């Protein structure tokens, strides 16, 4: 993955200060294609969908071709804002289209910030004025322009050689709190210069999201605004149609999505630890995911990691209340220092046969104190189901950030 450098063809980006935030902080972002794009989107499953989510779903349901731009604002989620919120979201797209020289149906919009406040349209228009004339290749500025409580921008890019030539996939994302499986208060824009059929784009984005963005947990809450969009403008001249090319592109898209998803967890609100949570031995993948999610959203598990307390009993207790009928006598638990690890020679076996093993408490405490920790829970149910969720600890700073979020 490159660091804020992309040789992607036919896209320009911008991050600007529209006045939504104080002190000149970038607060709006633009991803614009020189040519019409195929588009795909995945959205929050929250029933309280924000106005921009409703508008984008409506557009993509009508057509997944011809798109030129994504425009994002921060500070205001434009959620729970009634009919006026939808009017404002459409006006945001309309004004951007006017400045970019395209049709409003070709512009998708995103918002993030406080729920229940209306978009300050004068500032939104000012930001669009700035962004439309400031387009270039500063992907870092675009990534900064969508940040809320994030402490650093998130960007990933990779190129993949296909039978017809090389294509590039680049993306930006944001998210810090209200993150749980099925995304949450996270936004992402992924762009590629490949030629993609809309159906293929939607299928691959949904698959990538299911195994990356939908596998991250900060706090267990789900937002009203989460959206990931992908635009494919075909500027490379390379089509993705053969089975081999589709497989290679899909793997590259997964790599970019995984990088962006893990960056969100590592920069979660008040996060001090990155935890890879693996579950195996479940009846199917859905059951494994359900067990992993119960552990990842447990405040007691998360605070134990923050306190560097090897209280592994909280992990198995959370698994036991997941709703999946696991049996204690057949469940096993290991921990390992490091990220994205399953069972290794360095893994510490903590629990089997319904009781603790003869493990070293000092070793367990040392692993819990590491900044990156991997957990493996074998549900012992004899199935092939497995799942991975990336999560974090829960710290004092998380409470402080969310205690005065609107201030």
Six token digits for residue 181: 């499986």
Higher pLDDT, 145 or 178: 145
The model's pLDDT over 3-12, given as tens digits with 9 standing for 90+, comes to 444 689 999 9
pLDDT at 266: 87
pLDDT tens, 312-353?
A: 999 999 999 999 999 999 999 999 999 999 999 999 999 999
Q: How far apart are CA 206 and CA 386, in angstroms?
A: 19
Of the listed 81, 148, 185, 388, which one is catalytic?
Answer: 185
Whether residue 134 has pLDDT greater than 80:
yes
Average pLDDT of the segment spanning 286-291: 96
Q: List the single range of 5-14, 34-43, 62-71, 235-244 with lowest mean pLDDT.
A: 5-14
Determine the pLDDT at residue 397: 66
Question: Who wins on pLDDT, 148 or 158?
Answer: 158
Structural domains of the chain in order of their starting residue, each with its CATH number:
11-266 (3.60.70.12), 274-403 (3.10.20.340)
Model pLDDT, residue 403: 59
pLDDT at 407 exceeding the cut of 50: no
What is the average per-residue pLDDT within 150-161? 93
| Residue 182 pLDDT exceeds 70 | no
Share of the chain above pLDDT 70, in %: 91
> What's the pLDDT band for 131 if we cut at 50, 70, 90?
very high
Residue 398: predicted pLDDT: 63
Above 90 in pLDDT, residue 218? Answer: no
Model confidence pLDDT, tens digit, residues 270-284: 788 999 999 999 999
Catalytic site includes residue 117: no
Residue 262 pLDDT > 90: yes
- On average, the pLDDT of the chain sits at 92
Question: In the chain, what percentage of residues exceed pLDDT 90?
Answer: 82
The pLDDT, as a whole number, for residue 333 is 98
Q: What is the mean pLDDT of residues 95-121?
A: 96
pTM exceeding the 0.85 threshold for the entire prediction: yes
The tens digit of pLDDT for each residue in 75-98 reads: 999 999 999 999 999 999 999 999
């Amino acid at each position: 993955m490159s660091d804020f450098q992309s040789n992607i063809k036919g896209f320009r980006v911008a991050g600007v200060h529209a006045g939504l935030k104080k002190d000149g902080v970038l607060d709006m972002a633009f991803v614009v294609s020189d040519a019409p794009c195929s588009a795909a989107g995945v959205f929050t499953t929250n029933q309280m969908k924000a106005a921009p989510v409703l508008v984008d779903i409506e557009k993509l349901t009508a057509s997944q071709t011809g798109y030129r731009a994504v425009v994002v604002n921060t500070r205001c989620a434009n959620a729970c804002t009634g009919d006026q919120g939808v009017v404002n979201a459409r006006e945001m797209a309309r004004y951007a289209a006017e400045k970019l020289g395209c049709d409003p149906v070709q512009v998708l919009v995103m918002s993030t910030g406080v729920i229940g406040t209306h978009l300050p349209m004068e500032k939104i228009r000012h930001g669009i004025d700035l962004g439309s004339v400031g387009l270039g290749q500063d992907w870092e500025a675009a990534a900064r322009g969508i940040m809320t409580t994030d402490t650093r921008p998130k960007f990933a890019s990779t190129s993949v050689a296909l039978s017809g030539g090389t294509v590039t996939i680049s993306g930006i994302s944001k998210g810090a709190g209200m993150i749980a499986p099925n995304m949450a208060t996270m936004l992402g824009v992924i762009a590629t210069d490949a030629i993609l059929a809309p159906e293929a784009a939607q299928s691959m984005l949904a698959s990538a999201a299911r195994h990356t963005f939908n596998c991250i947990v900060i706090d267990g809450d789900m937002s009203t605004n989460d959206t990931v969009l992908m635009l494919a403008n075909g500027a490379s001249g390379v089509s993705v149609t053969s089975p081999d090319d589709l497989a290679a592109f899909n793997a590259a898209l997964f790599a970019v999505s995984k990088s962006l998803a893990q960056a969100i967890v590592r920069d979660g609100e008040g996060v001090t630890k990155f935890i890879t949570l693996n579950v195996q031995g479940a009846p199917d993948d859905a059951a494994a995911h359900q067990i992993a999610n119960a552990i990842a959203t447990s405040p007691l598990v998360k605070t134990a990691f923050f306190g560097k307390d090897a209280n592994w009993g909280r992990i198995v207790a959370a698994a036991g209340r997941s709703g999946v009928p696991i049996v204690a006598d057949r469940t096993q638990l290991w921990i390992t220092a490091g990220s994205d690890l399953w069972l290794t020679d360095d893994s510490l076996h903590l629990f089997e046969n319904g009781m603790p093993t003869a493990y070293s408490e000092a070793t367990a405490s040392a692993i819990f104190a590491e900044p990156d920790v991997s957990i493996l829970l074998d549900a012992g149910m004899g199935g092939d189901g497995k799942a991975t969720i990336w999560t974090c600890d829960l710290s004092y700073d998380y409470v402080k950030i969310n205690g005065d979020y609107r201030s």
